[in-house]
Each structure stands twice: as C-alpha cells, then as structure tokens.
Structure 1
Amino acid sequence: MFNAFVSWPTAPVTKSLVLKALEALNPTPAIVASPEGDHNLLWSTYDDIDHELVHSHRESVLSSSYTFRKTLIRKHFLSRTLHAYVTKHPDSKLRNTSPRTFEIELSFVDELEEMLLDELWELGKELEDGERWWILKPCVDISRLDFAFLRCASQVEWLTAGNGIRMFNSRAALEKIFEEFEDADSDDDGEDKSDGEEDQTAVVTSQLRHFVIQEYLDNPLLFDPAEVLINGSSKPDEPQGFKFHLRAYCVAQGALKVFLFDKILALFSAVPYVKPSVEEDEDGDPLPVDLGPHLTNTSLQADRGEEGVRLFSELVSCQILSGPHDPRARFTTEDMKSIIDQMTTILAETFKAALENPVHFQPLPNAFELFGIDFLVTDSPGSQPRFQVSLLEINAEPAIELTGPRLSWILQDLFIAMGKVCVEPFFNPKTEELGWVVGETRHGLIKCLEEQVRAHP
C-alpha cells in the first residue's frame, strides 16, 4: 500500500481521471488531499508538487511531472533546441519537420525596426516581397507574469490557450500588430471599456516580452468534419475543406522512455479554409487577417462544443479536399499509418534534441509526465510521402477537458494506461513489462524512444 497525493484545483476532469486510474491499480493506494505528510505518489498539477521531495527521495517518491522541461514546453526554448540539434545533426529527420521559426523579444514597437536590420535580418528580407505569410505567437511563462497588469481574471487562461496570435506578410503589418498591442496597454491606464469594446485576444507586451514568428504553412490537408456524423448530424451535400491540427498525447516516463497514445484527436477550424490574403483600410494600411479559417485551437471555440473535434481514425474514407480536386480521392488507413509513423519519429528525435540541453530538460527516473503535442499535416501532391507532418508545439498539463463527452472514453484509456505503465511498476517492479521494443504498442501506447540517461544529481 502507498499514499497518493492528488490535486487538480482548476481541472476537475483531470482529477477524476487520475482517481479512476488509481482505482484500477493493484493494490489501490490511499488517496490524500493534503500536501503535508509522507506521500509516495504525487499525481497533481506542477505547482502543487514538492519537487525538492521528489529529488531527494528518488527510490520511494514518484512525481507526475519533471521539474525541468522548459526545453519542450516553451516555444522559444523548443525553437532554439531544434535548431541547435539539426545544426549538430544535419541528417536528422527533424530538419524539415517544423516551420521556420524566429525568436523576438521586445516590449515596444520602436525596437522592431532595429531588430529587423540586425538579428532578424533574414526575416526582414523575407518580408520585403510579401509573398510568404507568417504567424506571431506569444511565449507565455506564467511564473513571470505580473498579474496586476492583466485586464481581466480570464486573461491568463486565454494567453495559454492560443491567444495573442496574429498573421502577417509584411513589415508594415507586423509593426501595426505591435502598435495595437501597445494601444491595448495604454488603454488599460484609461477608462474601463465595455465588454463589447474589449479586445479579448490582445496581449500586454510589457508583460510578454518573448514571441516566436513561425512560417505559415499554407498547404494544409483539408477535410470536412461533417462527413463524420455525430449527435444525429447529417452529411453535407457539398463538402467544404476545413483546416485542422492533430492533438496527440505523449507520455514520458523515467529517464527515459517516450510513448505516443494511439488515440489521436483532429481539431478543426470554425470556418472553411481560405488562403490568407491582404486587405487594406481606406488609408492603405493592412487590416488584421481573419483568423477563423486558420486557427484550430478548441480553447478559442468553446461555444462550438464537440462540433470541431473528431478522432483521427474517424477521418478514414473522408474526401480529401486539398490538393488537386478529385471527388474520388479518399483518405486511407495507409495514409493515416504513414502520418502516425512520422509523428513517432518526430517525437523520438525531439526528445533526443531535448536531452542535449540538460539545463532545461532533466528527466528523472522517479517521474513521468503527460504532454499534449500539436502537429499539422500538409498536403504536397507529388512528394513522398504526400502527407507530411510538422511539429507545432508541446504543451504541459494539456486541456483535456476540451475533448468533450463523446470522446471522453479515450481519456479514461489514456490515464489507466499511464497508471499501468508509469505508476504500478515503480511500486511493484514485478509488474514492469519486459521486451517492449520501440514501435510496439501496448495499452494503447506506442513506444517511440528508449534511452538510458545518466541521473542528474
């Protein structure tokens, strides 16, 4: 018998899944709600874990989170790590599996011009012709935010759920974006705005200094999610192509095994896809790009319920609505397998890259962690393979509540698998499954990587 501290104060769905996973263990641990006392298992949100206890009791205490993993979960750290790894390993399969990315750190728009002539010179050259589109994303480190500057209580949640994102294809458009962010800062010092006047997607640049600028991939694989019937819906007469990204769940165990959960979600945009285009106001200044066809983050579409969420496997036999128009073209099981194989390779290489940055990623033998991985699939007819996978970002404590009731069963399977694979063998080594090779699937988990990492002091 062992004790398990479980604490998810803002994620009741996650807490219930953890408790069900613990109930499935043999023996079932005693559940405690207080951080005080002797605990063997800390399966809780990162902030409630006693990380010093985890480091000092590696034989008897198991944690549900690594202490140091910024290399993976901070966009600018991940960008640097992947760039360094590909530079050192030019034959790595990561070379063409993530969008070109630039880092930017500034608080005021007047800093931008000098940056585009110096460290962002390459980006500045790209922006001269306006042919390529880019996407700006804030890099949020909640621990460094001054909450007194946030305009509303929900802004932290918004900033960590895909907000502050903008698209542009010119220097003028990028400058206007930061001017709007600065205006939002200065407006905060004036009179309060009504709800109708508040820009719910703005960010406070004085608080969020780090951004990444990623090349926008404008050839996404497109489906119509309405072809997969749910809740009594009917198939569309004329399918329309919607952009989507894949949300995969990755489990990292000890030091180090990496698994991909084989139940993968496809999260769709709210409106049909159109390529981004430039529109100007009466003064000739670029107007903000409508992000509706381009953003697939379900946190920004809470009012849609489960309408935009499908299992990836449910898309098999759907009409492919990207690439050359061919109403007979259907997505096949072989297509899906090719994409999942690419995902497992990318995950393995990404964690290898993270291991080469031991300051910001330190896998411990007495820890495991669940990550939400976002991938985008592009459609490149004539390429081999036709459908190619790009890594977008890695999220700690992913918002699993957004999966919805219809597919909640996959989350139960995921957490029970984590209990069987990550928790039970720690307290009863006899239950560890031997001979599990890379590429093999057990409990719905595909093993992607197994490395022997020297323990950190």
Structure 2
Amino acid sequence: MEDFTAFVFWPSAPLTDRLVHDALNSLIPPPSVIDSLPKPAPGRLLQWATYDALDHELTFSHGPQSKVLSSSYVIRKALIRKHFLSRCIRNYLTKRPESVLSRGVPKTWEFELSFADELDELWSDELYDLSEEIDKGDPSIWWILKPGMADRGMGLRLFHTKEDLEAIFQEFEQDSDSELEDEEASDERRRDTSVVTSQLRHFVIQEYLAKPLLLDPAEVPLNGAIKPAVRDLHGHKFHLRVYCVASRAIKVYMYDRILALFSAVPYTSPSKQGGDAEAVGELDLAAHLTNTSLQQERGEEGVRLLDELIGCHILSAPHSAPRRQPPRPHRAMGVAMDPETMQAARRQQAERAEQTQYTTLTAEDIENLKHQVSEVLAETFKAAVEMSVHFQPLPNAFELYGIDFVVTHGDSGQLQVNLLEVNSEPAIELTGPRLTWILEDLFKAIAKTCVEPFFSKESAPVGNWKVGETNQNLRLSLDMQVRGAQGW
C-alpha cells in the first residue's frame, strides 16, 4: 500500500473519532492523519469525516492527477430519508413484485403536510388507499406516523383512526406554539419525542407490525445479575441494528455482529393498551419504541448481541408442547415420600411444565434472520440505485449505515425481518462500553476492505469475494457495477 494522507474530523462523535484513528493505525504503513484540509489538498487523500466536513468537490475531482477516497456518498437521500426510501422501494416493487422487499417492508404511505387541517384533502388524494384501510375499522390494525427527516425516535406516534391522526398533528402544532413561547424547556424536550410540525413537512405512515418477536433480555444477564426463572420472564419488543458498509459503485457488506435493542418495558399491544377512555396521544410508547437514544438513562441494559440471544425463550408464541410424564424421584418400592421430597418433586414438575410452554431461539433461527437481512439489504440498495437522482454511488467513496429491522411472526409462524429505516452516521456511542469491541473490529474491517485496496499499488478491490461469503465479519450482500466499468 502506498503512502496517503487521512483527513479525520468527528467533533461531535469522540468514539467514532477514536475508532477511525485506531482503524487507520492498523494499516501497514499507517497514513499521516490531519484534522483540517490544507489548500491545496494532498494528491493521495482519504476523507474519513462527518458528512458536513467533507470536501465534496474533492470527491468529484478524483482523477489521474489525484486520488481521493471519501467516507460518504455525496447524494444518498433515497436511502436515508424515510419518504424517499418509501418511494424508491414502491417504484422498485412496481417493476419487481417478486422481490423480498414485498414481504420485508411494512406497508408505507408518504405525504407532505404543514398543518392538521390539510388532512381532509390528503384523505382523498395521497392517502386515499390508507383511508380505505382505516375505514374498515379493524380493531387489531394500528398505524405509526414517522417524520421523514427526523431521527432517534423523534415524532413517532401510534394511531388507530383518522381522528387520532388529526389529534396528533394538533398536538404537534401546540408543541410548536409552546416552543415559541418558552425556550427554557429544551432539556426535557430533548428526552421526549416531540417535533415541531412547521419544521417538518414530509411524513410517512406505516402499518404497525402487530406480531413482533418478543424476548426477555434478562435471559442474558449483565453485571452479575441472576438469570430469572421462566415464570418470571416478560416479553420485550426489540429491533435489530445492522451495520452495513457500502463501498464504491457498488458493493454492500453486512456486518454480521448484529445488535438487538430492547424496549424499556414489557410489550403490550396498542389495542389492549389504549382503551376508549384513553387518548391516543397518552399511549405509553415505552413498550413500542426501542431506540437507545430515548433510553439513555438505562445505559447498556437493553443492548444485546443477536448471537447472545440463542436459547432465549420466545415469549410471543407460546404453544402447548406434548408433555411427558416427569420421572418420579428415586425411592425404594413401598417407601413413602417425605413432605420435603414431595414439594421438591412438584417444583421440578412445575419448572418442566414452564419450560415446555415456549420454544427457544436457535442458532438456525439466528442464521436465518441474518440471511434475510442480507437479502433485504441487497434489494434495498438495488432499489436506491434505480432512483439515480437521489442515490449516486461513486467508485471513490464508501459509507457506514446503521439499518434497523424488526422481527415479526409471519402468518405461518416463521420469523420475518422487516426493514424500518436507514441511518447515516449512526449513533454508535449508544452501543455502550460492553460491546465497543464489535465497533473496533467493524472500523478495522472497513479500513481493510474499503481503504487499503483503494490505495494499494494495484488499486484493485478486495480479491475473489463472492456474494454470501464472509470475511472479517463482513458478509458480501451485493456486488453490482453501476454506470459502466468504472462506475462513473
């Protein structure tokens, strides 16, 4: 590998800054690192920095006289904006209805709105199909509202009727008025999920996934805690945080150390939680929102590796397994059991009965989920590539994304992953100290896979790596050529 200079700048993300430095130091030879770009810029330059600090003109100026690699694609709204993502997937499915995205993405509608009184017109226009669905009045079907450009759980709301949705937007308008009147409540506001509608025009509505896989993270105890008995378990909703690396034009890698991020309280379906007397705006979202940014006071309590969950009881799908008669305690024929032995035998029998009420998550289940995630990632990036106005992969760029999935039970009982959103510059610091090592390995893998080949004398991509194969815990999910042999 030839010498190059690395511009590294993460002023608001000290953990990312350290991980990037460590990853670059693992290269042989390590590059010279700078924290500001000189004029003129070095001829052989890596920009591994926050998006706003990158010199995008340098990215586009890559040519024979200069060699510039940047840590972000310049144009990628088709992925990271919820309303654009919804649109590009819908367009893709129109042409390819057999794609895994047809079952791997919730029903979604996108729309623009500034004030609640605009909803009446939307019901007969962009939201006409949704209007018909809601008017069916199925008590088990709920919907979730998401601002198109908000992140970290901001603005997420559950609703069941058109009146509920109107009330939510009226609430947002009141929040906007209150914010103008009182600037001093900002600290508390940062911890809730409020948004200001006047600052958010784009929204999506998704069908709320009503059959989430429920586990109890307490079955993987932390800090010396005792693993609870089965009878003391409570089903918690969780989502998968998948780190994905897109490189050049274009390869997509899935980091196979996937995180499971759990809600703070046990799950209760919204249909049971929200009675007639309770306003939808008063629904406790703690059972439904799994964003770690909304649970910072919990620290690492709700964070597990997906692989750590092997053997956990699936609390969302109890079944009556055939129960075999438990063996009787060993004793001589004709000898009566004393009361203590009898009680112990009954306790053992009760524990065995509890164990047979639930299946457990197996290694095969985990591998199946990873395979599904990899397939959905590949199709999602294919869909984005086809929306070329809003996603333009470049041969001299790479980018790390945090992609969220929720796991549900399908109609036939199988586990199904569902894509929720794609996040650029993911908040990796919320992973917590216990699992920081997976981030260290991830960033070193990025340096080895995306950076080192670019600056090698041969300037060749990583060798014979086939789709589906894993190296350095990166599984190649997609390998396609965009816009000609050189990707321009």
TM-score normalised according to structure 1 size: 0.92
Structure 1: 5+ residue stretches without partners: 141-158
Runs of 4+ deviating beyond 4 Å: 191-199, 284-287, 429-432
| Cα contact 1:58–1:365 (8 A) shared by 2 | no
Pair 231,381 (structure 1): closer, same or farther in 2 beyond 3 Å: farther
What does 1:264-283 correspond to in 2, within 5 Å?
264-277=258-271, 278-281=274-277
1:149 corresponds to: none
Provide the rounded CA distance (Å) in 1 between the counterparts of 2:187 and 2:430.
26
Which residue of 25, 28, 33 corresponds with 1:26? 28
Pair 411,236 (structure 1): closer, same or farther in 2 beyond 3 Å: same
SS at match of 1:164: coil
Provide the rounded CA distance (Å) in 2 between the counterparts of 1:110 and 1:367.
44
How big is the alpha-carbon RMSD for the aligned residues of Structure 1 and Structure 2? 1.8
Provide the rounded CA distance (Å) in 2 between the counterparts of 1:195 and 1:257.
42
Counterpart code for 1:19: H
1:42 corresponds to: 47
Any idea what the Cα deviations from partners look like across 1:7-62, whole Å, max 9, x if unmatched?
Answer: 00100000000000000011110000112242410000000000111111245000
2:142 corresponds to: 133
Provide the rounded CA distance (Å) in 1 between the counterparts of 2:61 and 2:182.
51
Name the % identity.
Answer: 54
Provide the rounded CA distance (Å) in 2 between the counterparts of 1:162 and 1:437.
36
1:441 corresponds to: 470
SS at match of 1:206: helix
2:352 corresponds to: none
SS at match of 2:145: strand
Is 1:363 matched up with 2:359? no
Q: Residue 234 of structure 1: CA displacement?
A: 1.2
| Cα contact 1:130–1:170 (8 A) shared by 2 | no
1:71 corresponds to: 78
SS at match of 1:373: strand
Q: Residue 165 of structure 1: CA displacement?
A: 0.6
Provide the rounded CA distance (Å) in 2 between the counterparts of 1:162 and 1:309.
17
Provide the rounded CA distance (Å) in 1 between the counterparts of 2:374 and 2:447.
21
Provide the rounded CA distance (Å) in 1 between the counterparts of 2:187 and 2:38.
45
Is 1:225 matched up with 2:217? yes
What does 1:57-456 correspond to in 2, within 5 Å?
57-58=62-63, 60-128=67-135, 129-131=137-139, 132-140=141-149, 159-191=150-182, 200-237=192-229, 238-277=232-271, 278-281=274-277, 286-325=280-319, 327-328=355-356, 329-380=359-410, 382-383=412-413, 386-430=414-458, 432-454=461-483
Q: Residue 190 of structure 1: CA displacement?
A: 2.9
Any idea what the Cα deviations from partners look like across 1:245-281, whole Å, max 9, x if unmatched?
Answer: 0000000010111100010000000000111023344
Counterpart code for 1:222: L
Counterpart code for 1:413: D
Any idea what the Cα deviations from partners look like across 1:270-299, whole Å, max 9, x if unmatched?
Answer: 000111023344xx8545321011110000
Pair 193,36 (structure 1): closer, same or farther in 2 beyond 3 Å: closer
Provide the rounded CA distance (Å) in 2 between the counterparts of 1:183 and 1:390.
33
Counterpart code for 2:371: D
| Cα contact 2:153–2:193 (8 A) shared by 1 | no
Provide the rounded CA distance (Å) in 1 between the counterparts of 2:451 and 2:37.
19
Could you tell which deviates more after superposition, 228-237 or 374-383?
374-383
1:53 corresponds to: 58
Larger radius of gyration: 2
Provide the rounded CA distance (Å) in 1 between the counterparts of 2:26 and 2:228.
42
Provide the rounded CA distance (Å) in 1 between the counterparts of 2:18 and 2:247.
21
Q: Residue 92 of structure 1: CA displacement?
A: 1.4
Q: Residue 122 of structure 1: CA displacement?
A: 1.4
Provide the rounded CA distance (Å) in 1 between the counterparts of 2:465 and 2:255.
15
Q: Residue 68 of structure 1: CA displacement?
A: 0.6
| Cα contact 1:58–1:366 (8 A) shared by 2 | no
Any idea what the Cα deviations from partners look like across 1:62-107, whole Å, max 9, x if unmatched?
Answer: 0000001110110000000000000011221211110000112111
Q: Residue 196 of structure 1: CA displacement?
A: 9.5
Could you tell which deviates more after superposition, 115-124 or 321-330?
321-330
SS at match of 2:197: coil
Pair 24,100 (structure 1): closer, same or farther in 2 beyond 3 Å: same
| Cα contact 1:86–1:94 (8 A) shared by 2 | yes
2:334 corresponds to: none
Could you tell which deviates more after superposition, 422-431 or 68-77?
422-431
Pair 196,345 (structure 1): closer, same or farther in 2 beyond 3 Å: closer
Structure 2: 5+ residue stretches without partners: 321-354
Provide the rounded CA distance (Å) in 2 between the counterparts of 1:402 and 1:23.
24
Counterpart code for 2:194: A
Q: Residue 121 of structure 1: CA displacement?
A: 1.2
Any idea what the Cα deviations from partners look like across 1:194-224, whole Å, max 9, x if unmatched?
Answer: 5798583221111101111111001011110
Provide the rounded CA distance (Å) in 2 between the counterparts of 1:194 and 1:318.
41
SS at match of 1:61: strand
SS at match of 1:317: coil
Counterpart code for 1:23: N
Provide the rounded CA distance (Å) in 1 between the counterparts of 2:415 and 2:378.
19
Provide the rounded CA distance (Å) in 2 between the counterparts of 1:418 and 1:232.
34
Provide the rounded CA distance (Å) in 2 between the counterparts of 1:297 and 1:412.
22
Q: Residue 160 of structure 1: CA displacement?
A: 2.5
| Cα contact 2:395–2:487 (8 A) shared by 1 | no
Provide the rounded CA distance (Å) in 1 between the counterparts of 2:146 and 2:152.
11
Counterpart code for 2:17: K
Q: Residue 114 of structure 1: CA displacement?
A: 1.4
